[in-house]
């Protein structure tokens, strides 16, 4: 059995030192969190615009029923896009936090100094707070899609029966995106997993 090798000594000189790596990754983390917030703002504007378009063009839909169907298609596409972007940002945030935790453990520094990314207590509280963002997105998707379906059924009922493909299509996608957002908590970074385990 080979003797256990000691970890290599960190290089000095022109190499990028740990603190510079940490600052670089931390700035990247802050940027990703900001982008996630901006995505929520963007999609609130998109959903609101789609609902407003349906209400504003109510009279046109009475003579041209196909137009409202095309607008309704925008809701599931927007819901899917928001879900995928939130998954992307949550995954990137978790990867960056894992890397920061590894840097905080260099030379056992986490045993001597408070370590935000290595602490299960801090991360549990942070993840609970971040989960409210996921819940907000999930509720917004559900609310806007229900409002859109309600308006669509109301307008369609004045002319003929609503298109069941549109109703079920929008409803199923909205429900799937709602559930996907509730499951984003499983993507959140937790100390002790991956390389840290």
3-state secondary structure 101-142: HHHHCHHHHHHCCCCCCCCHHHHHHHHHHHHHHHHHHHHHHH
Q: Within a domain: residue 4?
A: no
What domain range includes position 133? 19-191
Q: Within a domain: residue 54?
A: yes
Question: Where is pLDDT greater, at 142 or 54?
Answer: 142
**Which pTM value belongs to this model?**
0.80
Q: Within a domain: residue 10?
A: no
Query: What percentage of the chain exceeds 90 in pLDDT?
Result: 40
Q: Would the pLDDT of 14 be above 60?
A: no
pLDDT tens digit sequence for 88-137? 999 999 999 999 988 888 877 777 778 888 888 888 898 998 899 999 99
Q: Within a domain: residue 144?
A: yes
Helices (H), the chain: 18-56, 58-63, 65-104, 120-157, 164-182
Count of domains observed in the chain: 1
Residue 151 makes CB contacts below 8 A (sequence gap 6+) with 51, 54, 55
Q: Would the pLDDT of 10 be above 90?
A: no
Return the SS3 of 149.
helix
Q: Within a domain: residue 94?
A: yes
Count other Cβ atoms within 10 Å, centred on residue 194.
13
- C-alpha distances (whole Å) from 138 to each of 51, 92, 147 are 17, 20, 14
Q: Would you state the structure tokens that stand for residue 5, as one six-digit string?
A: 């090798």
Q: Residue 181 in contact with residue 79, Cβ under 8 Å?
A: no
Report which listed range, 10-14, 59-63, 157-161, 177-181, is most confident.
177-181
Q: Within a domain: residue 128?
A: yes
Question: Where is pLDDT greater, at 86 or 59?
Answer: 86
Q: Within a domain: residue 104?
A: yes
CA–CA distance, 171 with 48 (Å, rounded to integer): 18
Q: Within a domain: residue 93?
A: yes
């Amino acid at each position: 059995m080979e003797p256990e090798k000691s970890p290599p000594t960190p290089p000095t000189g022109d190499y990028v030192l740990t603190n510079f790596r940490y600052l670089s990754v931390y700035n990247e983390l802050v940027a990703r969190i900001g982008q996630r917030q901006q995505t929520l703002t963007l999609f609130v504007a998109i959903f609101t615009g789609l609902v407003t378009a349906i209400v504003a063009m109510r009279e046109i839909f009475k003579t041209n029923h196909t137009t409202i169907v095309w607008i309704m298609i925008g809701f599931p596409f927007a819901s899917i896009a928001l879900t995928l972007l939130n998954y992307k940002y949550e995954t990137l945030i978790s990867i960056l936090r894992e890397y920061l935790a590894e840097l905080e453990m260099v030379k056992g520094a986490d045993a001597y100094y408070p370590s935000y990314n290595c602490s299960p207590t801090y991360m549990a509280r942070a993840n609970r707070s971040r989960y409210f963002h996921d819940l907000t997105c999930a509720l917004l998707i559900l609310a806007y899609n229900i409002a859109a379906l309600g308006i669509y059924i109301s307008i369609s009922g004045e002319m003929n029966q609503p298109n069941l493909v549109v109703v079920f299509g929008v409803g199923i996608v909205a429900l799937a995106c709602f559930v996907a957002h509730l499951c984003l908590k499983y993507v959140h970074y937790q100390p002790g997993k991956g390389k840290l385990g």
